[in-house]
Amino acid sequence: MVAVRFDSIRFEEHDLRAELGDPYFAHARNVPRFIPRLPRPPRRTTFQR
């Protein structure tokens, strides 16, 4: 759940959706909901040249 603090008022994500309506959904389409995991770098061996 996303929470934004503004002058000691806490807005939850569902409050923002209800308050902003279409502008919220337009912005939410462009924001990733998760950060993808990057591939791990190859392991270096002790005898690599």
Enumerate the domain spans of the chain.
7-33
Write down the pTM of the prediction.
0.34
Buried b (16+ CB within 10 A) or exposed e, 9-34: eeeeeeebeeeeeeeeeeeeeeeeee
pLDDT of res. 8 = 52
* pLDDT tens for each residue of 1-49: 566 555 555 667 777 778 888 888 888 888 777 777 888 888 877 765 6
pLDDT of res. 1 = 57
Give the whole-angstrom CA distance, residue 30 versus residue 33.
Answer: 9
